A and B are shown apart, each in its own frame.
Chain A
Amino acid sequence: MLEISNLVKRYGNDQPVLKGLDLVVEGNTVVSVVGASGAGKSTMLRCINRLVEPTSGSIKLNGREQVNLRGANLRHARRKIGMVFQGFNLIDRLTVMENVLAGRLGYVSLYQALTRKFPQTDIDRAFHLMDRVGIAHYANKRADELSGGERQRVGVVRALMQEPEILLADEPTASLDPKTSEQIMVLLQSLASELSLPVLINIHNVSQARTYTDRIVGLRNGQMIFDGTPGEFNQEALDAIYGGIEPPDETGGEEQPIAEARTP
């Protein structure tokens, strides 16, 4: 269970990006987070695994507080949170298998990581999961030789290798063509129920959010203004979330969390 309460994130002295957010995700629900660029979706997701440092508030995963963790404690907490990225963020020059096994980096020793001598159980798990999403035959291919949809599958498997207690997906389909992105959404949905894993998906595509998720959360200006089932997500809610907003600025807003994450 994920419990976010009164989460605030402010970059420098600017207006806060998140203004006291509360969100509870239980069981194996798939929750989509919708909102315009700069609404704070990405920042919220990155606060959960602390790629972004929250300014204040509390985030609890299965009862364990995530805020204020340091060093080894933080790394151990991150192991339990899988993340799938918009740009896949695979290590292009390494093989698919190395990318998948990278999901175990939080568990193995530095020597094992350096020499790629991962435990047999990890390798079994990797093949099992790659088989499940249909990429096992690519194990020894370089990650940058794969197509977009295949690369995102590698990204999903890498996140699942962590044996996560929750899966975060930051616009996982935004770099994919419509057909492939539907496939990835179906995959996330079915994996959530197979592994009884809660999944939090930032998404721009509202119709996909309606079709493939159990619950929709709408953010605007760092505040939650909608929380309900896809059935309740009507035109009124859509206007409230997106209405009167200028076309997204490519350089500002959503880019900010990535820059912030650079400070260790």
Chain B
Amino acid sequence: MNEGRSGAGPLTGQRWKKPPFIASPWLRYGLLLAVVVYLYWTFNTLPFNWERIAEGLPRAARIFGGAFPPSFERGELMWTGFKESFQIAFLATLLGVFLSIPIALMAAKNLAPLPIYLLGRGIIILSRSFHPVIVAILFVAAVGFGPLAGILTLTLYSIGFVAKLLAEKVEEIDWGQMEAMRAAGAGFFKTLIYAVFPQILPRQIGLSMYQLDSNLRASAVVGIVGAGGIGSTLMNAFGRYDYDFAFAILILIVGVILVSEGISGWVRKKIW
């Protein structure tokens, strides 16, 4: 009587196949065709110049060949660049984190009246809508080459990220504490200090650590468009065909970011 378990049951003649992801065959094969046509069209219209690519490959090989071995000879220059990047990242983080607090409060639906809320959200959306490199280009044009452009860029970048996440935290605070402070006769600012800030402080410290790490990385990138720091040093090295020096800088950037990521990750784990 156990054969149903070990062997096959009675044959039913029924077959089973996994139903297709897209049920309609027209849509299914139509989509496939559309992708093929699009790829064909793209490769035919984009100006890939295969000859130049073929010429470029040896050049790329020469660059990489020139980069080996990396040269750490001009350590002085590297140190100056990194120091400036650190300074830019620290200052921008401090400024950005500080400015993000009022903006986050403005952008929290439970605290701010509608016009203020919209203004706060607007600032956040604006500071998030462009990649730091584009912002850096604008600031370099506005205030000239150098670290100031970098600081302004990364401050804006920090506001966009920190204020957005902080506003979300403000929106989910325990309202009972607000109520208790208001019941004691506390005004708006005292209520903020007592009922809101203690609740959002751990998040804010975590965000700051994360942002410092992120700004350090971004400061290398925005330097390339002239906003100071190690990115500028890197760009100069490339401009003068000092590929071995450039490669040394790249290795160091990777190293520094690994270390900073490790540190900030550790701190965030401790306090989150």
Q: Which of A126-152 contact B (CB under 8 A)?
A: none
Contact B187 A75 (CB under 8 A): yes
Closest to B189 in A: A110
Q: A105 and B183 in contact (CB under 8 A), knowing A91-B177, A258-B175?
A: no
Question: Does chain A have a CB within 8 A of B195?
Answer: yes
CA gap between A114 and B186 in the complex, in Å:
12
Question: Does chain B have a CB within 8 A of A245?
Answer: no
A-B contact pairs, 24 of them (CB 8 A): A51-B179, A51-B182, A75-B187, A76-B185, A79-B184, A85-B180, A87-B176, A89-B179, A90-B177, A90-B180, A91-B195, A105-B185, A105-B190, A105-B194, A110-B187, A110-B190, A113-B186, A113-B190, A113-B193, A113-B194, A114-B193, A258-B179, A261-B175, A261-B179
Contact A78 B184 (CB under 8 A): yes
Contact B179 A102 (CB under 8 A): no
Contact B183 A102 (CB under 8 A): no
CA gap between A77 and B183 in the complex, in Å:
10
CA gap between A72 and B94 in the complex, in Å:
35
For A81, the chain B residues whose CB sits under 8 A away are 183
For A75, the chain B residues whose CB sits under 8 A away are 185-187
Size band of the A side of the interface?
A: 35 or more
Question: Does chain B have a CB within 8 A of A24?
Answer: no
Interface string of A43-67 (1 = CB under 8 A from B): 0000001010000000000000000
Question: Does chain B have a CB within 8 A of A162?
Answer: yes
Distance in Å from the Cβ of A227 to the closest Cβ of chain B?
26
Contact A106 B185 (CB under 8 A): yes
For A102, the chain B residues whose CB sits under 8 A away are 180-181, 184, 186, 194
Q: A93 and B201 in contact (CB under 8 A), knowing A102-B194, A113-B190?
A: yes
Q: Which of A183-231 contact B (CB under 8 A)?
A: none
Contact B181 A105 (CB under 8 A): yes
Question: Does chain B have a CB within 8 A of A94?
Answer: yes
Contact B179 A93 (CB under 8 A): no
Question: Does chain B have a CB within 8 A of A83?
Answer: yes
Closest to B110 in A: A262
Closest to A93 in B: B198
Closest 3 A/B residue pairs (Cβ): A106-B185, A79-B185, A105-B186
Taking A91-B177, A258-B179 as known contacts, 15 extra A-B pairs with beta carbons closer than 8 A to each other, sorted by chain A number, are: A75-B185, A89-B177, A89-B180, A91-B180, A91-B199, A93-B198, A102-B180, A102-B184, A103-B184, A105-B194, A113-B193, A113-B194, A159-B184, A162-B184, A262-B110
For A51, the chain B residues whose CB sits under 8 A away are 179, 182-183
CA gap between A94 and B185 in the complex, in Å:
19
Contact A94 B194 (CB under 8 A): yes
